[in-house]
Structure 1
Amino acid sequence: MTAPSTTDTTEPEPNGTQPSGAAAPRRRTFGPVAATALVMGNIIGGGIFALPATVAPYGGVSLLAFAVLSVGAVLLALLFGKLARRSPVTGGLYVYPRDAFGPFAGFLSAWSYWTMCWVSIAALAVAVVGYVDVLIPLHGNHTLEGLVALAALWLPAAANFAGTRWVGAVQVVSTFLKFVPLLVVATVGLFFVDADNFGPFNASGQSVTGALAASAALLLYSFLGVESAAVSAGEVRDPERNVGRASVLGTLGSALVYVLGIVAVFGLVPHDELVDSGAPFADAVNAITGGTWGGTAIALVAVASITGCLNGWILMAAQMPYAAARDGLFPARFAKVGKGGVPGFGVWAVAVLGTLLIALNYTAGPDTTFRVLVLITTFTGCVPYLLSAAAQLYWLARGTRERVRPAGLVRDLIVAALSFAFSFWLIAGAGYAAVYQGVLFLFAGIPVYVWLRGRQETAETSA
């Protein structure tokens, strides 16, 4: 495929041709800083603020899982950087399987990723509620909690309608606002850690390997977003170079904050209290300050962080079906781009679907639904990772790469193989229920593919 020049301001079609007359030229508005901020902003969101309490029932083994995940996330970042050099266009995790295995594989990847996006968006919006409750007590009123979650969803959606330039600006600002305070808390908090607060190494009752896989499946939610620059490669200037750099730098920065932060939280909040905490980072800061003002400050940061994360995820959720729709593998309305460069119908679709899940959350049991949503996102997120790694292995096996030194080929093979194994392990760790529900979400897209593909072939035959 012919890659666009670095000065080209239009995004090429997935097959390398220029957009048709129906598609307006799109300027690449994300520089390397904005692209890195997009990756970090999408990774560091609800995960770091909500998940310490979610994985606390597993005990200290979840800290080991976090270390394993950090290595795996860097491997995925390297993988996406390599794949983006081959296909530097919007859609990333849809484009790679499509180019390697055909339209059905591309559709399954796009559908699964899209499902992961709007389920994740709903989970992030729910995560806001615990920290808003620190600022404004909601007294367990599910109606008020639901309204707060809906506001957290629709405000970033409105920012997306303003255009990709606004999305990039919001990501840079929100990433700075949350990264600096979190890093300060994570480092200062280490001086107040009490080893007795960590609790047992394995509190789950499972085997160590089982607890490691199960806690890693939950914690993957905190690393979703490593692919953000690859998915939005069409918005990134010089994507062959900047997508890989932004992915790796954003992942490494996020991993640093995560590892320090989760160790601090585990060591500051007694294990029994952490298990039932709705705002673990606020509780951790209160333990440092000996009062409530610190928790209030971190709650403000958490709300800003998660809202900024939602801003980026809504863009991701619109970009993936946009790329598939341009190939006729998603409804045509997903391919329409507004004046601001954002696929508006895609934003509306994920906002409405996220609203439905939030409503379900506060009518079917908010104590358990967040965990279920997180595990479903693990499965639906790992399917595109798995297919992308398989695509890279396919290209390497075909030997179509040019002027590749043996050492580079071996390195790329190792990265792709480990990324595939890592994704497979996480899917297995999600558990039977999450895999079952995730497969139902995945297979629900097959009739959509059959209908769209059939109409497409009929139109080609008639032409």
Structure 2
Amino acid sequence: MHDSGSASTPAPADRGDSTTDTGEAIEARGELGKHARRFGLPIATCLVMGNIIGGGIFRLPHDVAAYGTISLVAFGVLTLGAIALALVFGRLAQRDPRTGGPYVYAREAFGDFAGFLAAWSYWITSWVSNAALAVGAVGYLNLLLDIDGHWWTMCLAALVIQWLPGLANLAGTRYVGAVQLVATVLKFVPLLLVAVGGLFFFDADNLGPFQADPDASPVGAVSAAAALLLFSYLGVESAAVSAGEVREPRRNVGRATILGVLGAAFVYLLGTLAVFGTVDHERLISSEAPFSDAVNAMFGGTWGGSLVAVAAVISILGALNGWTLLSAQTPFAAAKDGLFPTVFLKKQRGVPTTGVVITVVLASLLTIYNYASGEGKGDAEVFTLLVTVTTFMATVPYLLATAAQIYYLISGQGERVNRSRLVRDSVIAAIACGFSLWLVGGAGYAAVYQGVVFLFIGIVVYAVMSARKTRAAADQGA
């Protein structure tokens, strides 16, 4: 795929960043150690798929069953939006293949403040989401080991689940890639078993009504179902954020992003359809483990629950492995530009190690709070709100990245725009922007309100970091 603004065009002018290394440049200089490896296309694709597909897929059929099979239409609409966003990230990465993804794109287009907001929002999203993933994994682990005795045993299990991927990250990108590849393969085996095998046991009588509420408009039903599904595609930016660790990023980031989204969409859509067709609609509405019920309906017995629990734990560990890396990459990129504390700059074996440790510690503290409050029951409502808030926060870098693409297209900057693809790129950017705004609406009023508070806190942090950067520049000039 030829792009007049890609490999043949110099990298965008830097705004004060003396370190503009890409994976290509570092690899050419031979600076990789034995524990650091550039991600090729397969690993980068696994990073995208693994981060998109966490533990939520195992409940998705139950979550949307109440709306009827029209929810599959909502899945299709969201998939188109996610693909458009993936294409935008691919185009932006071709122009600027540095680590940081949305942060790099927003800063290059709109300056330090926009870049900081992208980095700040993404960082908060990542470590709070890690805490949520770990708590979700404990629920599945409890089905296997029956650890639901004391709150501290469940809390300890959640901390172990967080720190295992953290240690893999600290070992280097070589091990991050290996864990991601193995986890992605192991999670997809049972999911594909249901998705593909379920077609042989498909019974149309199990589907239930196309639209469960006949009084609602089809558009309203699709929107309501989409509100539950909107967050299923978070992670589409994974390859772009880690572009500096991807081999030939100008080419592979876009490809990995598209392949990862398509792979996740295939599993989502086909898996949900298979569960709809193998589990009776009324039973599915009340089911807490729809994939387990589907396996049991297909093959008999009750072993489906254990199989799905194992797959869910592996799936979440793989997602945590990838998200832990991403949570350190963005502040690392911002720290190079003086917009985050310099402590995030420490990097070994291809991984920003200090950022990984800070992320895991913060997620661990939030996990302890969740379990300790209420002596084991946890403040579920507060925790759910925090997770929803951080999902809203993830839309901030999405919107800024798509806005950067729209800015380049409208301003007509020749070195950044392929004029032969102007119309197509403009349509794709508009769809991606609409998808990002839909994510904001799906988060809900309370989440948006609380998320804005987090953004305002970030403004104060930016003021401090910007003042320190300006003072340091003045001291050097003196």
Are 2:141 and 1:128 equivalent residues in the alignment? no
Change (3 A) 1:18 1:403: closer
Residue equivalent to 1:8: none
1:167 to 176, 187, 196: 176
Question: Which amino acid is 1:320 matched to?
Answer: T
Identical counterparts, % of pairs: 57
Counterpart among 139, 156, 162 of residue 147 in structure 1: 156
Shift in alpha-carbon separation, 1:116–1:18, aligned structure 2, 3 A: closer
Is the contact made by 1:57 and 1:204 (CA closer than 8 Å) also made in structure 2? no
- Asked if residue 390 in structure 1 is aligned to residue 413 in structure 2, the reply is no
Deviation at 1:73, TM superposition (A): 1.0
Q: Compared with structure 1, are the counterparts of its residues 275 and 454 closer, same or farther at alpha carbon in structure 2 (3 Å cutoff)?
A: farther
- Structure 1 distance, partners of 2:289, 2:384, is 15
Inter-partner Cα distance in structure 1 for 2:428 and 2:42: 25
Q: Indicate the residue corresponding to 1:304 in structure 2.
A: 314
Contact in 2 for aligned 1:38/1:171 (Cα 8 Å): yes
Q: What is the alpha-carbon distance in structure 2 between the residues aligned to residue 462 and residue 402 of structure 1?
A: 35
Q: Which residue of 2 aligns with 1:410?
A: 423
Residue 306 of structure 2 corresponds to residue 282 of structure 1: no
- CA–CA distance in 2 between the matches of 1:188 and 1:460? 63
Report the residue type matching 2:464 in the other structure: W
Q: 1:371 to 1:164 in 2, by over 3 A?
A: same
Q: For residue 257 of structure 1, what is the aligned residue in structure 2?
A: 267
- Map 1:29-428 to 2 at 5 A: 29-139=38-148, 141-195=150-204, 197-198=206-207, 201-202=211-212, 209-271=219-281, 273-275=283-285, 277-338=287-348, 340-362=349-371, 363=373, 365=378, 368=381, 371-402=384-415, 406-428=419-441
Structure 1 residue matching 2:122: 3-state secondary structure: helix
Q: Deviations over 1:265-301 (max 9, x none)?
A: 3343445554554443223222222212233123212
1:40-79 per-residue CA deviation (whole Å, 9 max, x = no partner) reads 1111222312444444455544332221111111111110
> Any idea what the Cα deviations from partners look like across 1:232-255, whole Å, max 9, x if unmatched?
000011100000011101111111
Task: Supply the AA of the counterpart residue of 1:457.
Answer: T
Residues 440/202 of structure 1: CA separation in 2 closer, same or farther (3 Å cut): farther
> Could you tell me how far apart the structure 1 residues matched to 2:461 and 2:280 are?
49
Change (3 A) 1:361 1:279: farther
Give the match's secondary structure for 2:116. Answer: helix
8 Å contact kept, 1:322–1:335:
yes
Measured in 2, the distance between the counterparts of 1:357 and 1:195 equals 44
TM-score normalised to structure 2 length:
0.86
SS in 1 for 2:235: coil
Taking structure 1 as reference, are residues 18 and 98 closer, same or farther at Cα in structure 2, changes over 3 Å only?
closer
Q: 1:173 to 1:101 in 2, by over 3 A?
A: same
Q: TM-score, normalised by structure 1?
A: 0.89
Deviation at 1:197, TM superposition (A): 4.6
Change in Cα spacing, 1:54 to 1:238, as seen in structure 2 (3 Å) is: same
Q: CA deviation at 1:405?
A: 5.8
- Opposite residue 416 of structure 1, the aligned amino acid is A
Q: Which runs of 5+ in 1 are unaligned?
A: 6-11
Which ranges of structure 2 fall in alignment gaps of 5 or more residues? Answer: none
> Which segment is superposed worse, 277-286 or 316-325?
277-286
Q: Which residue of 2 aligns with 1:457?
A: 470
CA RMSD between the two structures:
2.9
From the superposition, tell whether residues 213 and 184 of structure 1 become closer, same or farther in structure 2 (CA, over 3 Å). Answer: same
Within 2, Cα distance between the matches of 1:226 and 1:102?
Answer: 24
* Aligned counterpart, 2:444: 431
CA distance in 2, matches of 1:349, 1:403: 36
Of 232-241 and 167-176, deviating more is 167-176
The 3-state SS of whatever aligns with 1:94 is helix
Contact 2:69–2:208 (CA under 8 A) maintained in structure 1 = yes
CA distance in 1, matches of 2:245, 2:306: 36
